[in-house]
Amino acid sequence: VLGLARRNLALLSLDGIEKRIRELENDIRKYNKESHKEALKSALTLKGILEEKDYSFSVECFQADALADRLPGIDVDLIMTDLPYGNLTTWSGAYDNDDNSLGFFLDNMLDLLKPTSILTIISEKSQKIEHKGYNRIKHFTTGKRRISFLEKRMCPP
């Protein structure tokens, strides 16, 4: 999991995105799939953004059970997660058989977020992300996925 996170975060550097562009160009030559062509278009767009701006930030990747009662005592600026969906992935841990795993997850993330932090959730298009502790800033769909941007509600109802 952490290796995948590092690989994805590498896409936020020019070297990383250029490497991914080369991989996608090779995949297009080999397989000529529409999904590779769409991914290449997105990668080129991201490369253009990276070339326009001087991005400098530090990232710490760590693995933790998001449904555990206690998470590391840290404050984070951004949490980005792709929720389990389909037949190949499921919630695991203390609440793996519970219908409210998303609720437990959202409860636990509240303690990690600063007032200015953003929680980004990628989920099935049909899944609505709602919780009394968050304001939804924005959401959009792409393909079969919904991307929701949430902020910590300062005065929960």
The pLDDT tens digits for 50-66 are: 888 766 666 666 666 66
User: Between residues 32 and 111, which one has the greater pLDDT?
Assistant: 32
Specify the range with the lowest mean pLDDT, choosing from 68-82, 93-107, 136-150: 93-107
The predicted pLDDT at position 57 comes to 62
Three-class secondary structure of residue 151 per DSSP: strand
20: which residues sit within 8 A by CB, 6+ positions away? 11, 43
The model's pTM:
0.58
Quickly state the pLDDT bin for 77 (edges 50, 70, 90). Answer: confident
Mean pLDDT of 58-83: 72
- H-run or E-run covering 152: strand 145-152
Q: How far is CA 93 from CA 4, 13, 38, 85, 103, in A?
A: 20, 34, 35, 16, 14
Quickly state the pLDDT bin for 18 (edges 50, 70, 90). Answer: very high
Cβ pair 47, 82 in contact under 8 A:
no
The C-alpha atoms of residue 127 and residue 50 are separated, in whole angstroms, by: 31
Task: Give percent of the chain with pLDDT exceeding 90.
Answer: 31
The predicted pLDDT at position 24 comes to 96
